[in-house]
Each structure stands twice: as C-alpha cells, then as structure tokens.
Chains A and B, each alone.
Chain A
Amino acid sequence: MTPIVSIWPLAAILVSLLGALPILLSARQPNLRESWTILIALAKLSIVASLLPGVLQGGSYVFTIAEVLPNVPIELRVDALGMIFALVASCLWLFTSIYSIGYMRALNEHAQTRYFASFAVAISATLGVAFAGNLLTMYLFYEMLSLSTYPLVTHEQNAEARASGRKYLTYILGTSIGFALPAMLMTYAVAGTLDFTAGGILAGKASPELLGLLLVLFLFGFAKAGLMPFHGWLPAAMVAPTPVSSFLHGVAVVKAGVFAIFRVVFHILGPETLQAANLSTIITTLASVTLIVASLIALTQDSMKRRLAYSTIGQLSYMVLGAGMLSAVGMLGGVMHLAMHAFGKITLFFCAGAIYVASKKKYISQMDGLGRQMPITFAAFFLGAMSIIGLPPLGGFISKWNLVLGAVDGGQLMLLLVLLTSSLLNAAYFLPVVYRAFFAEPPAGAVVGIKEAPLFCLVPLCLTAFGSLLLFFFHDPLLRLAQLALAP
C-alpha cells in the first residue's frame, strides 16, 4: 500500500508540545492547569487511535517536516511498529496524568507547573520516536526525550537529585553522542540513506565486521534500553517522583531505547543481513547476561522502586533478546512484550507510589501486613507482578510464550534455559512482596489508620492492572500489529 500523506502524525506530536504553553501560562490555577493536561492527553490518544484502523489494514501515513540532508529528511511515518509504541505511550500517559494529580497534590510537591510542562514535552518526544520515518528523525526525538526528562529526574533539586541527574545525562547523552551518532553517520556513508526499510538498508553493502561494529555501537548507543554495562542510570533515576518513574522509566524512556534497537535491527541492519553475518549471538548474549544479572540484583534490593528498576532492566532485555533471536516467533514475542510489560510495570510503579502516598513507606521490609490496610493496591500489584512473571491469565504470558517458542524454534536451548530461570527469578523477587503484605504479621507498634491512597491514584492503577488482564484475552489487534511490523 502506498503511504498516505497526512498531517495527523505531526499533530499527534505537536498537541502536547504546544500544550506545554497553556500549562505554563496557567501556573497559578492548578485546576485549570491539570485540566489542560488531561485535555491534551485525551486529544493525543484520540489522534493516535484515529490512525489505528488504517495501519491495521496495512497502510501507513507519512509527513515530511523539513528537507535537511540529502536523502535524509526530517520525516514522520506511522507504521505498525510505531503504532504499537505510540498507542501504549499515549494510552498510559492519560492514566499517568490522572495519577500524577493525585500523587503530586497528596505529597504537596513543589514546582508542579514545571513538572507537568516537562512531562508534556517528554511525551511529544516519545511519540516522535515512535513515528520517526528514518534514523535521523528518531535520533532527534530520542535526544529531545533525554533532555526534556532531565528536569523531571532532578525534580527534587537536592544533592541526590543533582548527582542522579548528572549520572542520567552522562549515560544517556554520552552513549548517544559517543556511539549512536557515529554509527548513524557510518551507516549513512555506506548506505546513502537512513530510511526505515523492511529488511534493512545495508544488505550487500557492508562487510560482516562493519555490521558487527555498527550493531554493537547501536546496542550500547541507545542506552535507554538499559543493556549492561550501560544500565546504571535507571536505578539512579528512581530519585524522581513516582509518576515519572512509572511512566518514563517503566514505559516511555526505556521503551524508546528498546524501540530504537528494534528499528535498527528490523529496519536498518535487517534480520536476514544480521543472520547471514552470524551476529545473532552478540545480541542474545548481551541480553541474556543483562537479564540474569539484573534479576539477581533485583532480589537483593529492599527499596521498592530500586527493585522495580532492576526488574525493568531485566524485562527490557527480554525484548532485546526476542529481537536478537532473528526468528519470526522470537521477534514477535519481543515486540509484544513491549506492550505487555508496559502495562504490567506501570501498575507496579503506580502501586509503589500509592503505598508511599498512603504510608510514606519505601522499603519492602516495612510493608509487612500492609496488604490488609491497602487490599486494592496490593491486589493490583499482584496482577502486575503476575503479568511480568508471565503467568496466565495476564498479558505477559502471551509475549513470554512467544519468546519461549522462538527459543525452541531456533533450537537454542541455552536461551530457553535463560528464559525459564529468569521467570523463576521474577517470581522470586515479586511474590514475597505480595506474601508479606497479606500474610506476614505487621510489626509491633505499626501505624494504624493507613488507608488506601486517594482515588486519583487508586483508579489509574486499577485500570492498568485491568488492562494487563484484558491484553491476555484480547491480544489480537496487538498480535496483528506485531505481525504487520515484522512482515518483510
């Protein structure tokens, strides 16, 4: 199908970028300001959703913003892969916006205007990454995402936030300028284009050595995907307010990294080209190591958010691992896990935030018996955890099942072992939290009178948990999108 020229992809990005202005201008009227945020989030979701039917039928939408370099315009293209990411991001941003209101007001946080405005810019950048039509455009929005999230990570403006912000930028900006930019230029010098093309643009143009170099540079260059040893920024970034951690460091930022790796593997280097050069093992090895090590570290973390952060690092590697299998089923599992994990992990982060709002507790060891006082929150936590572990009837099962099939399909028993071990580790670091909350005795002298968090916090986390459940039963549209995304 020939792409349709449409301004709507640009509108989807601009609506929140321009929306930052009314948010800034209504700094003195918090209710009006938050109405803007919700309004923008709804507008954005509807624009993205309006593009869905066309994409499901195999079509795509393009829009050229500017001709900047020969053969490399700044161009938006909505295809199936981008659609998955955009839908997940814009849907979860709506929930996060509602949740933010509850969280920020309950804790009486400072600089809320800056917070909501930066958030709006960050989501614009996220959609830009999703809708980018070539590597340059994606790089542009990727950097915009890094920079717009800096004020969010350092929101607290204390010494710890400062150190974390520094670490955040060093890792993210350092790798993207140091690795991804040179790799992109080398690709351009060889291929003469940077358009995302099914099957890649380097077939027959690059030697296996160059391909390997490019692959490694890209894998580490997009450090938002958290591949070890460039994962250190993610636990550090947990200093941010919880809605930021949940949306950005559970969904938008980290997935932008994984999404970038998907784009590079599927549409720049090309699965067949990589297969022919025997480069699958580089990806799967890096991902497997990260997966196991991150899960092991997660076991040792007592801080709830840090445990979730290390869990995220591990789960991101599932997606990269899927892409690295280079087999149809494996890649399918990787792509689907992007959406499944998003719903599961955001639920978990929302729960962590709700617990903090209601009880000021950050550490798992303090949460004994808390489930009796906050049953809804912990029930949602349980659902989210089940999805991440990959148990039916939750969405995570579908994607992990495909990953396992991919490993079996490729006869890669080592990978199968890695996947199963990791799922056990996932269970080992999540289920004790739920168990202690419901069944352990509260410590003597525990604070009585802890209630569930405010409704603004509680409703979104129930909805996302419910979303995880729905994704198990109604995963057909997602499956269809993923298949379209991988169609040659």
Chain B
Amino acid sequence: MTASSLHLFVLVVPLLSALAVNLLGRNSRQWIAPLVLGSLTFSVFASLIVLVRVINQGTLRYTVGNWQPPFGIELVVDPLSALMMVLIAVVALLASFSSLKSVEQELPGREHLFFTLYLILIAGLFGLVLTGDAFNLYVLLEITSITSYGLIAMGRGRAALSSFNYIIMGSIGACFYLLGVGYIYILTGTLNMADIARILPTLNAPVATATAISFSLVGLWIKMAFFPLHTWLPNAYGHAPTGATTMMAPLMTKVTVYLMVRVILSMYTPEQVFTHAWITSSVVWAAALAIICGSAMALAQKDLRRMLTYVIVAEVGYMVGGVFLANANGLTGSILHIVNDALMTLCLFLVVAAIIYRQGSVSLVSLQGIFHRMPVTMAAFTLGAFAMIGVPPTCGFFSKWYLILGGVEAGRWEFVIALVISSLVNAVLFFRIIELAYFGSLADGEHHEHAASERHEAPWWMLKPLVLTAILLIVVGLSTGPLVDNVIRLMIPVGF
C-alpha cells in the first residue's frame, strides 16, 4: 500500500471484505461483524487522511493500472470527492452497527448475503465519488443500483414488488444517463471528464451539447428521486429490510446529488448547463414543487418510516434547487446540505431502526408515550428533528441559510417561500411525533407516567452510534465555517 494510492484502498478494502464476508460468514456468523466494522473503520481513517492530504496538497490523480487517460480510467480526488469519501465512510460505519443488529433479527441465516451486497454497495459509492471517467461512472452507478435492488428485495411483504418498480425506474434512469454519455462520446471522442471539459467548449455544437446535458441530468434525477420522478423511492425505502434503509436512505440520494454537481462542474461547465434561463427557472420551480409536495405527502403518512421517505423527496428538492439557483451561495448550500442531510437522515433512520428493533413497528399510533420507554433514543430523535426543522446550531440550519440566501440573491422567491414553508411543515411533522411520544395516550386522562410501561431502551449497538450521530449534528453545525472555507469554497468555480 503506497501512500499515494491510499484513496484506492478506501474502496478496495470494503470490496475485498465483501468477498470474505460471503465466504467466511456462510458457515460461521461471528466473522461478519468484525469484517464489516473493521473494513469500514479502515475506510473512515483512510478517507480522513486522504481529505487532509488533499486539502494540503491539492487534487490527486491516479490512473488505474497505469493506463494513461484518455484510454485508462482515472480516479480524481479533489476536496469535494475527499469530503464525500469521509461522509460515506462515516455514515456507512455508523449505520452498520445498527444494521448488524437489525439484520440479525430480521434476516436470520442470510446475514452473509446481506452484508456481501451491503459492502459492495458501499464500495460502489466510494467508486462513484472517485471516478473521473464518465462511462466508468455509469458502470458504478449500475453496480450500486443492482446491489440496492438486491438489498431491497430481501425485505418482507411487498418488498419484491417495490424493488421491481425501482429496477424499472432505475434502469430507465441509467439509460438516459448512458445516452447522454453516448452523445458526449460522439462529440468529443473521449470519456475522461477532464478531457470532455476541455474539448466540449471548443466545439460549436450547442444543440448536441444541450441534448447530452439534458439526457444525463434527467437520468440522474430519476436515480435521485427528484420530483416528479420520485415515485419509486417511498416504496423502495419503506419496504426494504430496516438494516438496508438505515444505510441507503442517508447515502444513495445524496451521492447521486453529488454526481449531478460533479457532472455540472467537472464534465460540463456551469455556463453550458445554465445557458437557458427558462430551463434553470423551470428546474427551480420543480424543486420548489418537490419541496412542497414532498412535505405535504409526508404530512399524510401514518408511519414514521414512510413519512421520512417523503421528507427525503423534499430534501432532494432543496439540493437540486440550490444548484440551479446558479450562484455561489446556492451551490454552497446544496453541497453543504449533501453532508448535513446525510447526517440528519442517518440520525432519524437510526431511531427508526432502534424502535423497530424493540417494538416491531413505527406507525404513529405505536409511538404513543415512547419517550418514557426509550428516552435516549427519543432525545436523539428530537435533535434530528430540530436539524430537519432548521433550528440553530444544528447543521440543518446552516445549509438552509445558504440555500435561502442564494434564493434571495437570485431573486427566486418561489424557492425561498418553499424552503420557509417546508421548515414550518417539518416543525408540524416532527412536533406531532414528539407530542405523541411525550404525552402518550390521553384516553384515560391519566398522566402517562402512571401507565404501565417499562423503560426499554434500544441495545447499546444501536444506541451508541445514534447518540454519536446526534452529537455530530451539532458539531458539524458549529464547524460550518471551516467546512465551507476549506473544502466547499475550493470547488466553486471562479466568477460563479
């Protein structure tokens, strides 16, 4: 392992341990947890080292197998991809503690299969943020999608149907993206992103370029469940095994948003993407609608997990809208929100996993009086809720700040109003649950404490990562300044 290829090992170690989990875990279950946690812990530390190195030394480029671009596949680690690596590694590690417990309960005997797919999916996500090659990106996108179809289909009940639905939508999205890349290849003769970015502006082919851009972006929008292409997501995440959702909900959509940002910044140029005012304008409108409709649908749900899946749809609207505000604050807000939303979603889904582990259901009715049964879990839930509402100093406030500021600067009041309304709706959504959890059933007119309900907190394996995530929400919020100055600002193109 040479120091310069450390970022490659961030990806390779989980991939190899996926194999090991399958082979060793088949016969003896006790191998699974050390392999999963060990490889992901390695990824966390390695990616942190890579991040520090990139901040100090600038972008790292690495050619796989020493094949030089444009023929070989290039891995590019700039501050943003290093940040995403850290994010993926941290979220995956924290989620897997909880997933190990959930899977043990829900899929006994199939743990090794589950965690094989789980680790391949994470390795695929690492690959997605590392690659500097447009076609390689497609391949990795399919790897992550196929593993997630598998993970979702392992759930009970209608999981297989939801997974099938997702396969259809996901394949359409992949086709769109591939068509876009095809156009680009015809135009430029290369698949290396840096090369494309160099050649494309020199060609005088606005219509072909616009077609390529539209195809690739629509493909990604389907994959990230951008309204109105979101219909697959609530079912897929709602029916998947709990352990799978805990990791996928925070990471999948966020990484796809990252890909959109990456494609806009590194493959095309912002000028090319934002040429037509009516297009950016309609995307921002769609984002505003995504936020409002996602929030409204979330209000209508009777189950915490399904409610959260609609919140994700709204949050995707935040990020896409922020990018298409086409100014520095909006883009900063979107990138910051990728990080923050991943952590908030992780926090809330860890709570869901903990409650499901203890009582099997997260329907709103079953949450009555749960503050008394699981006080620590619900305290973390409250913090996660505050972050979703955007109460400072939790991280959710700061990305919302940049997004609204970007909206004000761009004069996109529909987006500003949508964000404010969404904050208010989130307050209603989450306080409805906090109220249920705090008051319990009032039917008997008694104080809940007198009712017979024992304290029955989640197991330590689920509780510790949850508490850590909740603390992270505040720590990341308070370190917004350094995060923006040292990482995100570096990615904003000059004069943007």
Contact = CB atoms under 8 A, between A and B. Distances in A.
B449 A182 contact: no
A185 B482 contact: no
B420 A182 contact: yes
A25 interface: no
A157 interface: yes
Interface stretch (B30-38, B344-352, B398-406): B398-406
Interface centre among B390, B392, B404, B480 (most CB of A within 10 A): B392
B139 interface: no
A157 B439 contact: yes
Contact of A147 (B386, B438, B447): B386
B435 A157 contact: no
B442 A140 contact: no
A182 B427 contact: no
B416 interface: yes
Interface centre among B390, B401, B445, B477 (most CB of A within 10 A): B401
Interface centre among A143, A151, A154 (most CB of B within 10 A): A143
A177 B398 contact: no
A158 B445 contact: yes
Contacts of B442: 158-159, 162
Contacts of A165: 435
B104 interface: no
Nearest to A176: B391
Given A74-B393, A157-B448, A67 B409 contact: no
B408 interface: yes
A185 B401 contact: yes
Contact of B392 (A140, A157, A158, A178): A140
A454 B283 CA distance: 66
Contact of B393 (A140, A181, A186): A140
B416 A182 contact: yes
B392 A136 contact: yes
A65 B478 CA distance: 9
A136 B480 CA distance: 14
Contacts, number: 80
B102 interface: no
Interface centre among A73, A173, A177 (most CB of B within 10 A): A177
A177 B427 contact: yes
Interface in A117-150: 136, 139-140, 143-144, 147
A223 B17 CA distance: 56
Contacts of B390: 177
B233 interface: no
B479 interface: yes
Interface in B435-491: 435, 438-439, 442, 445, 447-449, 477-482
Interface string A92-129: 00000000000000000011000000000000000000
Interface in A153-199: 154, 157-159, 162, 165-166, 169, 173-174, 177-178, 181-182, 185-186, 188-189
Interface residues of B, number: 32
B449 A67 contact: no
Interface in B98-114: none
Nearest to A144: B391
A306 to B, nearest CB: 23
Contacts of B386: 147
Contact of A143 (B391, B431, B448, B480): B391
A166 B433 CA distance: 12
A169 B409 CA distance: 30
A139 B392 contact: yes
A169 B447 CA distance: 21
Contact of B405 (A67, A178, A189): A189
Contacts of A74: 393, 478
B457 to A, nearest CB: 15
B424 interface: yes
Task: Identify whether the interface residues of A are mostly helix, strand, loop, or mixed.
Answer: helix
B117 to A, nearest CB: 39
B496 to A, nearest CB: 16
B423 interface: yes
A166 B423 CA distance: 16
A140 B395 CA distance: 12
A189 B420 contact: no
B435 A162 contact: yes
Given A67-B482, A140-B392, A154-B438, A189 B431 contact: no
Interface centre among B390, B391, B482 (most CB of A within 10 A): B391
B392 A177 contact: no
B398 A69 contact: yes
Interface centre among A157, A174, A185, A189 (most CB of B within 10 A): A185
A1 interface: no
A263 to B, nearest CB: 16
Contacts of A158: 442, 445, 447
Contacts of A151: 438
Given A74-B393, A185-B401, A185-B405, A174 B424 contact: yes
B174 interface: no
Contact of B478 (A68, A157, A182, A189): A68
A66 interface: yes
A13 to B, nearest CB: 13
A173 B439 contact: no
Contacts of B482: 67
Nearest to B427: A173
Nearest to A169: B431
A157 B447 contact: yes
A177 B389 contact: yes
Nearest to B413: A182
Contacts of A178: 420, 424
A427 to B, nearest CB: 41
Contacts of B477: 68
A185 B404 contact: yes
B436 to A, nearest CB: 10
Nearest to B431: A169
B447 A177 contact: no
B392 A143 contact: yes
A229 B317 CA distance: 33
Q: Please give me the 6 A-B residue pairs with the lowest Cβ-Cβ distance, nearest first.
A: A67-B481, A140-B392, A66-B478, A68-B480, A189-B408, A68-B481
5 contacts: A66-B393, A68-B393, A157-B449, A185-B405, A189-B408
Given A181-B404, A181-B420, A182-B404, 13 more contacts: A68-B477, A68-B478, A69-B398, A110-B449, A147-B386, A159-B442, A162-B442, A173-B427, A174-B427, A177-B390, A178-B420, A185-B401, A189-B409
